Amino acid sequence: MNKKEKKQKMDQGEKREQRKQYLFVIRELTSREIKRKYARSYLGIVWSVLNPLLSMTVLSLIFSQMFRRSIENYPIYYLTGNLVWIFFSGATNAAMTTLIDNKAMLIKVKLPLEIFVLARVYTAVVNLGYSMVAYVVMLIVFRITPSWTMLFYPVVVFFLVLFSLGISYVLATAYVFFGDIKHLYSVLLTLWLYCSAIFYPVDSLSGFVKEMVVENPIFNYINCVRKVVMWGEMPTETELLRMILWGVISYLIGSIVFKMKKNQVMQKI
């Protein structure tokens, strides 16, 4: 083995060790976030299961009568969409403040800034995993027939995570320079929520409003999940293309913005 090959092998070994260290840091940050979130709660992580169920119960009591003719299994219809929304809003909201929240650690320890954003998004993934326990139980209770299309659920979630990560990178960068983005994003999320057809059927809309909802990336992810879980159908080619493009393009734009502003972020912090 010549010197060049030895050097390449050493470099590869160092990169593997570095990746292990970064994964360890992400796990530790995730564990810290979960403990911090439920620090003063007796039920702790159980709230990740109870929260979507309580929301489902309340909204079902209010809207199930209104939409009973157009939506079969309304509680599952709502719960399916709400879990997607809780993940997206939770991940992006938490990631937005992560650089400022971890200011002391960023100054003292040399770690890639991306790790802190990844940790917040990964925390949302973990919470989604806990919520899935309640979701599976509800699918059984409401006698949703198991289908092979359910195997496609993780694929939809993967591109949803990419989409959320891209938005998170942009928000985390913006928040360092413009603190009011937190309040603006809160207003945007409220509008986004009502444009995602979480608790109403999109077929009840028409014209420009319906077109706006259909083009909404979050609605597309929600609709894909409903199809593969509730109705035993695969998303159409258009829906699949939108799902992939929104995820990949959002991630690429977010990553580019984050890398371009990385030095300015460190100077500002």
Is residue 269 helix, strand or coil? coil
> Looking at residue 127, what is its pLDDT?
87
Question: What's the first-to-final CA gap in the chain, in angstroms?
Answer: 46
| Lowest-confidence region among 143-157, 163-177, 198-212 | 198-212
Task: Give the pLDDT score at 7.
Answer: 53
Long-range contacts of 229-234 (CB under 8 A, 24+ apart): 229/80, 229/139, 229/144, 229/149, 229/150, 229/153, 230/73, 230/76, 230/77, 230/80, 230/144, 232/145, 232/147, 232/149, 233/149, 234/149, 234/152
- Does pLDDT of 256 surpass 90? yes
The answer, yes or no, to whether residue 26 has pLDDT greater than 80, is: no
Please count the other Cβ atoms lying within 10 Å of the Cβ belonging to residue 91.
Answer: 26
Residue 123 DSSP SS3: helix
Q: Which comes out higher in pLDDT, residue 191 or 61? A: 191
Model confidence over 87-123: pLDDT tens digits? 999 999 999 988 888 777 777 767 778 888 998 999 8
Q: What is the pLDDT of residue 63?
A: 65
Q: What are the structural domain ranges in the chain?
A: 44-268
- Residue 34 structure tokens: 């979960």
Q: What is the pLDDT of residues 64-88, one digit of tens each?
A: 666 666 678 888 898 899 999 999 9
